[in-house]
Amino acid sequence: MVEAAEIKSFTLRAPDHFDPHAETMPRHEIEALQTRRLEELLPRVYAHSALIRRVWDAAGVSPEDINSLADFKARVPFIDKDAIRAHRDRFGDPYGGIRIVDDSAVETVGFTSGTTGDPTPVPNGITNAVEVSHLRELWHSGGRPGDYIVHMMFTFRGGQSRNNFYNAAGLTPIMIPHNPTELPFLIQALKTYRPSVLYMLSTPLLIALEQYFEKTGDDPREIFNSVKGASFGGEPLSPRFAALVKDWGLELFEHSSLGDVSGMTECSAHDGMHGWEDLALVECLDDAGHEVSDGELGELTVTSLADPVAPLIRYRTEDLVRVNRAPCVCGRTHVRIWPVGRKGDRTTVQGKPVLPRDIQKLVERHRETRASLFQIVRPKPEMEVLHVRAGYDPEATADASELAARLTAELGTAFEVSVRVELVSNAELLKLGPPQKIPRVTKQ
């Protein structure tokens, strides 16, 4: 339990909040707001979302049955990505039956990243919950009106004009593609405009930055000395990169998607990512759909509370997380979330569970594989041998077979299972997926 004095002490040191009332409202106010938003939203969703109406009708539920948060959690059926895809394919609706407005209210179509297969189109209106959460997070990591902000993202997240909200908050974005080949341009922009926030870094970009500083001799502390905060996303930050980036003088704020409803990002306390509960109803559920206690492992399940175009209702994300709803020392009262891995990435080897992040911290210890590029090759979830395809730097490797033997021994000792290590060059592994997200688990 966090003491009030501790919160006060930390809040005095930490940057203040972009929207103090919303970010620090007491839990009973959060829940009252969620109830009001659901009361307003659910009849509209039931009336206009073909997927939700079909799923609710099959479960014998209608909006009139939902009069409280407790009703909602007890009665409303779940949807997931498979349900959206199945609806899309069965009825020929590209949006998978989640859109609740006609196309005249849609300006752009964004896409999910495609982590679990076919990218899902997501219709966007003029505003959305992502902007609200993004501004809160930028402010907390040091962005202020008048500042330049590096915006290093993908256009498929919603296009170019979805970034107008930066100007509305007095910020000037520097638009850079999220691609390691863009690094010299990023450095040029950092030197010229001295931005205060860098959004966002990923493992491939950190690998490229490390190589850049080694080759050029540029001082990273000098390059980054205007940057008060940088977001990191795509996958968990590895311990080696966390230490490396700290040495560059960068404060990293880990960031992830809140089930395609919004974003979630660490605060200055670096003790979990805040999910905004005025924008999304967050549940952490066991396999049977029952809420687990704070601190226990469960599946992140989200409901959009501020999406007027395509709200997701009780959407099971397949993200395994732990949550804590106790107030944070930063003063925020919204749930903190610790992502553990993807449900589909859970692998059992000789009866023992293995997740990619467990392998990551072992692989990156070695000079030759420090880039931490690897995959679990898993034809089926249960295996007798842990098959790891590890990327290595040929220039840093004297004897590849010795490296393979060393990794095999270390992984075998750590997990107490049989291990097979397959080495491929880092460059080869980066061809297997987009630079921001190498598939960590693959069937072949």
Partner 1 sequence: MNATSTPASYIARYMLGGAPHLLPVGARECQRAEEFFARVIREEDVARGRKALIIATLAEAATMLPFERALIKMGLIVCNAEASPYDGARTEATLRRFDVAVIAPVCGTALDAIAVTGFDAALLFRGKIVWAKPDVYARLQNAPGIDLRRWLDLGPVTALETRHGGGLLVDGREWRVEPEGNATYVSSRLDRAMPFERLRIPVAVKLNEHTYNANLPGPRVII
As given in the structure block, the two tokens for residue 381 are 């979830």
Question: Which one among 94, 295, 344, 394 touches partner 1, defined by CB under 8 A?
Answer: 94
| Residue 193 makes contact with partner 1 by CB under 8 A | yes
Is 220 near partner 1 (CB under 8 A)? no
When asked if residue 216 is in the footprint of partner 1 (CB under 8 A), the reply is no
Span of 137-145, 164-172, 280-288, 317-325 interacting with partner 1 by CB under 8 A:
164-172
Is 282:258 a contact under the CB 8 Å cutoff? yes
- The verdict on 180 binding partner 1 (CB under 8 A) reads no
- Closest among 178, 225, 181, 185 to 202, alpha carbons compared: 178
14, 20 in Cβ contact below 8 A?
no
Among 151, 255, 322, 336, binds partner 1 (CB under 8 A): 151
Contact between 188 and partner 1 (CB under 8 A)? yes
Q: Which is nearer to partner 1, 204 or 331 (CB)?
A: 204
Q: Which stretch binds partner 1 (CB under 8 A): 178-186, 209-217, 244-252, 273-281?
A: 178-186
Structure-block tokens of residue 25: 């409202």
- Per CB under 8 A, does 82 bind partner 1? no
Helix/strand/coil for 401: helix
Minimum CB distance to partner 1 smaller for 159 or for 295: 159
* Residue 122 interacts with partner 1 (CB under 8 A): yes or no: no
Q: Token digits for 108?
A: 């752009």
Q: Count the residues in the chain.
A: 444
Least distance to partner 1 from the beta carbon of 88, Å? Answer: 8
CA nearest 242: which of 364, 390, 345, 410?
364
Provide, rounded to whole angstroms, the least separation between the CB of residue 114 and partner 1: 7
Q: Is 92 left (phi over 0), alpha (psi -120 to 50) or beta?
A: left
**396 binds partner 1, rule: CB under 8 A:** no
Which is nearer to partner 1, 192 or 413 (by Cβ)?
A: 192
Out of 103, 222, 382, 402, the residue judged to bind partner 1 by CB under 8 A: 103
Judge contact between 275 and 334, C-beta under 8 A: yes
Contacts of 335 (CB under 8 A, 6+ apart): 274, 275, 277, 282, 323, 324, 325
**Which residue lies nearer to partner 1 by CB, 186 or 230?**
186
**Can residue 413 be called a binding residue for partner 1 (CB under 8 A)?**
no
Buried b (16+ CB within 10 A) or exposed e, 181-220: ebeeebbebbeeeebbbbbbbbbbbbbbbbebbeeeeeeb
For position 308 contacting partner 1 by CB under 8 A, the verdict is no
- Least separation in angstroms between CB 418 and partner 1: 34
Touching partner 1, residues 221-280 (CB under 8 A): none
Q: How far is CA 238 from CA 42, 161, 232, 235, 287, in A?
A: 40, 33, 11, 9, 28
Residues 6+ apart with CB under 8 A from 121: 94, 95, 96, 109, 110, 111
| 156 is a site residue for partner 1 (CB under 8 A) | yes
For residue 377, how many C-alpha atoms fall within 13 Å in the half-sphere facing its CB?
15
* Segment (H or E) for 274: strand 273-275
The residue from 50, 69, 101, 109 that contacts partner 1 (CB under 8 A) is 109
**Residues touching partner 1: how many (CB under 8 A)?**
45
Q: Name residue 264's beta-bridge partners.
A: 256, 275
Task: Work out how close the CB of 100 gets to partner 1 at its nearest, in angstroms, rounded to a whole number.
Answer: 16
Are 294 and 328 within 8 A, CB to CB? no
Return the residue of 67, 167, 216, 413 that touches partner 1, per CB under 8 A.
167
How far is it, in rounded angstroms, from Cα 50 to Cα 169? 36
Among 15, 249, 433, 439, binds partner 1 (CB under 8 A): 433
Q: Is 358 in the site for partner 1 (CB under 8 A)?
A: no
Smallest gap, in angstroms, from Cβ of residue 110 to partner 1? 7
The binder of partner 1 chosen from 114, 295, 381, 394 (CB under 8 A): 114
Interaction of residue 438 with partner 1, rule CB under 8 A: no
* Residue with smaller CB distance to partner 1, 158 or 356: 158
Q: Which spans of this chain sit near partner 1 (rule: CB under 8 A)?
A: 94, 103-104, 106-111, 114, 118-119, 121, 123, 148, 151-161, 163, 166-167, 172-177, 179, 182, 185, 188-189, 192-193, 433-435
